[in-house]
Amino acid sequence: MTSRPGPVRNDVRVLRTGRGLSQAALAAAMGVSRQTINSIESDRYTPSLALAIALARFFETTVEELFHADREADREADHAT
């Protein structure tokens, strides 16, 4: 039996603030609104594949590193079985 993946989390806020960028500056670089960046960072919105790739390239990482399953929820699910 395979378990369902947990919620997807991301490191956009950590990487953005680490570079000293505002949400507005990142949004301008990505061609989206500041509200879109805010929603991604708050885990209220999962970006399209194209935007996820663009963000990963911007931060010089992979989509898999930038967007990942909630590791804590995965650990809890593993212990529950």
Task: Map 5-69 to HEC letters.
Answer: CCCEEECHHHHHHHCCCCHHHHHHHHCCCHHHHHHHHCCCCCCCHHHHHHHHHHCCCCHHHHEEE
Residues 6+ apart with CB under 8 A from 7: 43, 69, 70, 73
Per-chain mean pLDDT for the chain: 88
pLDDT tens profile 29-68: 999 999 999 999 999 999 999 999 999 999 999 999 999 9
Banded pLDDT at 69 (limits 50, 70, 90): confident
The total number of residues written for the chain in this structure: 81
Neighbours of 75 (CB within 10 A): 11
7-12 mean pLDDT: 92
Task: Quote the pTM value.
Answer: 0.80
